[in-house]
Structure formats: structure tokens, C-alpha cells
Amino acid sequence: MVKLTPEMKEDIQKVRVLPLATASNDKTPNVIPIGIAEIDDSDDKDDYIHIMNNFFLKTIANIKENPKVALYIWSPETAGCIQIKGEAVEITAKGDVYDGMTGRVKEAKPGLPMKEIIRIKITDIFNCKSGKDAGQKIL
Amino acid sequence: MVKLTPEMKEDIQKVRVLPLATASNDKTPNVIPIGIAEIDDSDDKDDYIHIMNNFFLKTIANIKENPKVALYIWSPETAGCIQIKGEAVEITAKGDVYDGMTGRVKEAKPGLPMKEIIRIKITDIFNCKSGKDAGQKIL
């Protein structure tokens, strides 16, 4: 049960590019910049992040064999630095989640392949701001 | 045998913060922003990246149980986006590598704990620029 705080949501809005890390079954980490992520906070218990697969290669292969992901929210404009860990619970190319997000992205960034949406359940949030509390679990 | 190109080295100079990804033995990815990385290109066969452990928590635990790391070099100022995969081959708090890097960092950013230097051998370089060639191996 992890719900983002209002301050975390504000920081997520401020970040244009964020690093998405995955790992293969042989424990090889992978990290890529992604530019499109949306929060779904409509569930009472958990928050979700939706990301779009446009050009994923190792990332999507990793998620299919190991659903664990990590990303961080930080830019010079954010109040904090949070690392979000989560688990991909759905990969879909149809339905309300897909139609909603692709509709919004199509307007903002036309021409993307928009192959599928990956729905990630947030499981943990850690502090990633430099200093003695770096790495500590927040939620 | 991976040697960075001059363009890659220029891009690395342009990036102030970069994401460093590791993975634990149970395949949980971790990713944190790091601000200090140096290239060692003095070896004929391989290039190395040196990073400094100031406030690492999960990152250093992961590296000790699984030396594989990934990071990317990208900012709005870089020519390209490269993902570097590598393997930590040494963790040291003494010797020439440690003394050299901590000496330079002490002048630029005083007050850091500078616990140890992690020497990473670069094993692979991938393209991480958005588009149809995203994820492809370059070197």
C-alpha cells in the first residue's frame, strides 16, 4: 500500500525525462531515459505509474521476464529526489488505460508508435537526495 | 574491448548528473543519480569509469553481490544518448586511483565522505536515443 504524497506528485509533474531501470533474469541492470509517464491514483490502496513502450528493446524484454522496475524523480526543479520501485502488473495495447494515455500523447507528441502501455504498481519509495539519509525508505 | 569515441567522451563531460543502475541478487533493479564520474582511458584495450561512493546504500550492497552496472549519458546538451554497461572490478579506499580522484573532488566539492572509489570496466555501449535504433548495441 503506497500512495504518493502531494509533494511527490508535484515533483513528478516537473520532470520531463526520467531514468527507468530494469533487470534481466541474469541480473544485468538496464537503464534508459523515458519521457512519458502518468500517475494513476484512482485506487484507494495503491498508486500506479503508466509508461508507454515506443522504442523499448531490452527494457520490454526484461519486464517480460522480471517485472521489477525502479525509476527516480529528480531534476534541478524538484523539491526532493525519490526513487520509486514497482512491479509491472499489466502490459496492454487496448482498453481504457491504453486509449486514454495514447489519446493524450498523440496530441502532445504525434507520430510515436505507442506499442503498449505498461502499468506499474508502486511498491516502495526511497529517498535519493544526496546526504546521510540517501537511500532510506520513505514509503 | 570497449574504447569510448571522442564524441562519447565529450558528451560525458557535458553531463552533470547521471543515473547509475545496479541489481541485487534477487533481480531487483536500483537506480540513483550520481554527480561524480571520471573516465580512465589509459589502458590500451578497455576504458574504465570511476565513481565515488559518498552516500551509497543499496547501490554498494548490490555491487558487492552483483558487480554488473548500467548508466546512461544524456542531457539536452549531449550529441547522443549512450547507455554504458560495465562491471565493477575494484572497490578501493587507497592507492593512486583513490588518491587522484578524491584529491580532485575535494577541491571541487569539499566535505564529502569519499568512502571509496569503484572502478568499472566498460563492457558494452548501446544507443539510448529515442527512435528506431534505440537500444541497439554500438560497441
- What percent of chain B is predicted at pLDDT more than 70? 100
Q: Which of B16, B28, B115 to mutate to test the interface with A (most CBs of A within 10 A)?
A: B28
CB contact under 8 A, A27 and B58: no
Q: Along chain A (139 residues), what's the average pLDDT of each consecutive run of 10 residues?
A: 96 96 98 95 97 97 98 96 98 96 93 96 97 94
Indicate the residue of A66, A71, A130 with minimum beta-carbon distance to B31.
A71
What are the distances in angstroms from CA A99 to CA A36, A110, B57?
A: 15, 15, 40
Nearest-by-CA chain B residue for A17: B75
Interval B51-88: pLDDT, tens: 999 999 999 999 999 999 999 999 999 999 999 999 99
- Phi and psi angles of residue B126, each rounded to the nearest 5 degrees, phi first: -120, 155
Mean pLDDT of chain B: 96
Residues of A in contact with B58 (CB under 8 A): 126, 135
pLDDT of residue B36: 87
Question: Which residues of A, range 38-57, sit inside 8 Å of B by Cβ?
Answer: 54-57
> Which residues, 6 or more positions from A13, have their beta carbon under 8 angstroms from its beta carbon?
none
Task: Say yes or no to pLDDT of B1 above 90.
Answer: no
Task: Say yes or no to pLDDT of B119 above 90.
Answer: yes
What ipTM does the predicted assembly reach?
A: 0.96
Domain architecture of chain A: domains with CATH: 6-127 (2.30.110.10)
Q: In sequence order, what DSSP letters do the residues of B95-113 get, joined into one string?
A: HHHHHHHHHHHHHHSTT--
pLDDT of residue A26: 97
